[in-house]
Amino acid sequence: TPGATTGFKFQFSIKLSILGDMSFVGSGGYIMLPPGSEFNIAAGGGFSSSISVSIQIFNPLTGLAIGPLQTLGTLISGGTFTLTVSASGSVATGGTAGGLGSITFLANGSGDLTDATVWSGGVAPSGTFSISIPAGITITISGATLSLKMGRCDVSGTLALGSGSDTFTFTSPPTIIVRRGGILLDQTTKKVIRFPFNSIIAILSGGGFGAIGTVLQIFQGGVVRASFTVTSASGPFTCGMLADGSIQTYNSVTAIAVMSGDFTAAGTFLGGFAPSADICSGGCGIQVIGGVTLSTAGLHGVLNFEITSITVAIGATFQLGTPGATTGFKFQFSIKLSILGDMSFVGSGG
């Protein structure tokens, strides 16, 4: 329901076969499925939402959640996607579509990342996963290294890193999003946090960084490739660790296009941090790096959420419009376009 924050619950098991398009139009909540359900997107089909959406498996007799969340994100397109729920409530996923498609563990209490009791469903994160930390909850990652493959980390509470260690190192590239009221807290003694290539930190307006003076480093193969010292405790702020070994920082929420692709595809952007109405409610910038072509065909002629700037670097291309469309292209909000590379209009009119 438009505007509703309660999501949608299927009380009985169901098989959803999407050959066309499926959209989630609510303003919050989960898609709730009981055991025995299936969710299949065929080639040519797609799923979209203005906010990041997750599937929650639940017991229809007790109403209680079973296991972690399964994140769909804001878009699944360009291939197939399957999600099958067994009779016991376990989930298997597959397919070739672009999108988030990772297990998201929702914290329901404060404690260590590896403590199963602090996670909804009573299962600690493992494998390749994402986490969501609600307001009022602190999740601590102790020690010097996180060797687990944590992808997206959505923080409305507190994420505390490196307690008891000189430095803290992520071995797999995370996408850390700190929302209004959330805090990324550095508890290392030397105030150094190390990341591999393709990591990104985005502090949204109202979010915070717990220690001015913390040094963020690209650390690959035992070598420090680049460093940046945090000088502000509050957002908006973005720090991206690019594959060329450079660190790019912005005093705004900025999505960095690092692969040629569509504006709506997570895979186009560093860390899958794609612009959306949810992320950009306070305004976002877009940076297109050299060698990348950013298409707007998936926007179908209108950018209806708040992108305040698009910067196209030397050697990059920005394609505006949808091939064959005669309706032109509308920016719903005022915007600054800075074209150092190339911009082309690919529509047939308007």
Q: Work out the number of other CB atoms within 10 angstroms of the CB of residue 223.
A: 9
What span, in angstroms and rounded, lies between the C-alpha atoms of 114 and 118?
A: 9
The per-residue pLDDT string of the chain (350 residues; one tens digit each, 9 = 90 and over) reads 988 889 999 999 999 999 998 999 998 889 999 999 999 988 778 888 877 788 999 999 988 888 878 878 777 766 678 888 999 888 877 765 544 445 678 888 999 999 989 987 677 887 778 888 999 999 999 999 999 988 889 999 999 999 989 999 999 999 999 999 999 999 999 999 999 999 999 999 999 988 789 999 999 888 889 999 999 889 899 999 999 999 999 999 999 999 999 998 888 999 989 888 888 888 999 999 999 999 999 888 999 989 999 999 999 999 999 999 999 999 999 999 999 999 999 999 99
What span, in angstroms and rounded, lies between the C-alpha atoms of 201 and 199?
A: 7
pTM to 2 decimal places:
0.77
Domain ranges across the chain = 8-100, 108-115+128-243, 255-345
What span, in angstroms and rounded, lies between the C-alpha atoms of 311 and 302?
A: 18
Q: What is the pLDDT of residue 124?
A: 83
- Note whether 318 and 342 are within 8 A (CB): yes
Q: What is the DSSP string of 274-289?
A: ---TTTTTT-EEEEE-
CB neighbour burial string for 181-210, b if at least 16 within 10 angstroms, e if fewer? bbbbbbbbeebbbbbbbbbbbbbbeebbbb
